[in-house]
Amino acid sequence: MKTIGLKIEKKKAEETRRKMEKYIRKDLSPKVEKGYVIFPLTERTEGYKIVEAEFRKREPQRERKLKILTKGILSGMDIIGDIAILELKDISAEKEKEIGMELLKAHPNIKAVYKKLGAMEGKFRVRKLGWLAGEKRTVTEYRESGARIMLDVAKVYFSPRLSAERNRIKELVKDGEVVLSLFAGVGPYPLVIAKERDVEIYAVELNPDAVEYLKKNIEINKLKGKIHPIKGDVREVVPKQLRRKGDRVIMSLPMKGSEFLEECVKGAKEGGIVHFYTLLSRGEKPDEIFKRIQKAAENTGRTAGILNWKKVRPYSPSKIQIVIDFRVT
């Protein structure tokens, strides 16, 4: 059927799809055309190239089949680049494979389907995965806010669910800042920030695989000289190389947040801001954590002023992930 569509370069397609989701027709399939994707629209939108194009009807049958097949079984799904990672209840191996195959048919942009075999574990916060369908490949490229993020979902930590939080931090960063990204992983925070801001970022990470992808991502995003990758333990690197260096410190190891509070404080300049991620029991207020922050600051001869805190996302049935922003003086 012929109708209006939003035409966008392939590399910006995923990000645009997320931004413009409410204007994109679900009954028609997007069209791929020589380096571009055209999304069928419900109405004309501002700020994008609008074209007339012929679109194919989506196959609602496949979607419906998938919904029926996964009802009460699928409790979550992450799509990272072209890899889908499913959270499935205990079912037979045949049924798991069937779900994987149906997912591939219903979503041609997904090329490999895995299931979670447990929680994130170990100091590198990596999860075991089981292959279900499609390509047997765990390396993919994910795009966020104009940044290309390459990673191996089986060897490093990465969560697409933190994109709104990364965007929040990017919006707070001003040109000219020095930013410390502690526990940087493959670099989603530094990449998203450095793509849009004139900054210098030190990214510290312990997992050698994550550091390799971080370096690769710096290269493919042409951010050499703006992001400095440092392979090492935050506990050693901050006191030795990054003391009082950051206008902003991003501390993204929520599981062990409180153990590294002093390092966060040590890394902040006079007046520097720390974005501190940690876990909180549902229904509790973070008063105890505020006290721990003050104590950590006192231990390093400084003070901490809490600016604000907010929920980032649900973490487990009993816990939520929160971020506390505080200023070090």
The dihedral of CA 227, 231, 236, 241: what is its sign?
negative
| The only residue of 124, 131, 290, 315 in contact with ligand SAM, by rule CB under 6 A | 124
Residue 185 in contact with ligand SAM, rule: CB under 6 A: yes
Residue 9's identity, in one-letter code, is E
Separation CA 23–CA 26 (nearest Å): 9
Residue 321 in contact with ligand SAM, rule: CB under 6 A: no
Separation CA 144–CA 250 (nearest Å): 18
Let me know: does 88 contact 156? Beta carbons within 8 Å. Answer: no
Residues β-bridged to residue 251: 182, 276
Let me know: does 90 contact 120? Beta carbons within 8 Å. Answer: no
Question: Residue 81 Cβ, how far from ligand SAM at the closest point, in Å?
Answer: 14
Counting Cα atoms < 13 Å in the Cβ hemisphere of 113 gives: 22
Separation CA 265–CA 292 (nearest Å): 12
What phi, psi does 55 have (nearest 5°)? -115, 150
| Binding range to ligand SAM, per CB under 6 A, among 45-53, 123-131, 280-288, 318-326 | 123-131
Q: What is the token pair recorded at 70?
A: 């996964």
Nearer to ligand SAM, 162 or 274 (CB): 162
Residue 205 in contact with ligand SAM, rule: CB under 6 A: yes
Q: Determine what percent of the chain falls in helix, strand and coil, rounding each to the nearest 5.
A: 35, 35, 30
| The only residue of 169, 180, 204, 218 in contact with ligand SAM, by rule CB under 6 A | 204
Nearer to ligand SAM, 39 or 183 (CB): 183
Side by side, the strands of the sheet bearing 31-33 are 31-33, 36-40, 2-9, 49-54
Residue nearest to ligand SAM (CB): 185
Region 156-175 residues binding ligand SAM, contact defined as CB under 6 A: 157-159, 162
Question: Residue 183 Cβ, how far from ligand SAM at the closest point, in Å?
Answer: 3
Q: What Cα–Cα distance (Å) separates residue 202 from each residue in 94, 177, 181, 184? A: 47, 11, 6, 9
Question: Residue 1 Cβ, how far from ligand SAM at the closest point, in Å?
Answer: 40
Nearer to ligand SAM, 45 or 159 (CB): 159
| The only residue of 9, 21, 171, 233 in contact with ligand SAM, by rule CB under 6 A | 233
Query: What length does the chain have?
Result: 329
Nearer to ligand SAM, 55 or 142 (CB): 142
Question: Residue 169 Cβ, how far from ligand SAM at the closest point, in Å?
Answer: 11
Residue 48 in contact with ligand SAM, rule: CB under 6 A: no
Nearer to ligand SAM, 87 or 233 (CB): 233
Nearer to ligand SAM, 51 or 320 (CB): 320
- CB atoms under 10 Å from CB of 12, counted, come to 15
Question: Residue 252 Cβ, how far from ligand SAM at the closest point, in Å?
Answer: 4
Nearer to ligand SAM, 160 or 305 (CB): 160
Where residue 33 falls (left for φ over 0; alpha for ψ -120 to 50; beta otherwise) is beta
| Binding range to ligand SAM, per CB under 6 A, among 15-23, 35-43, 111-119, 228-236 | 228-236
CA–chain centroid gap for 168, Å, is 12
| The only residue of 210, 211, 214, 249 in contact with ligand SAM, by rule CB under 6 A | 210
Residues forming the site for ligand SAM (CB under 6 A):
123-125, 157-159, 162, 183-185, 188-189, 204-207, 210, 233-235, 252-253
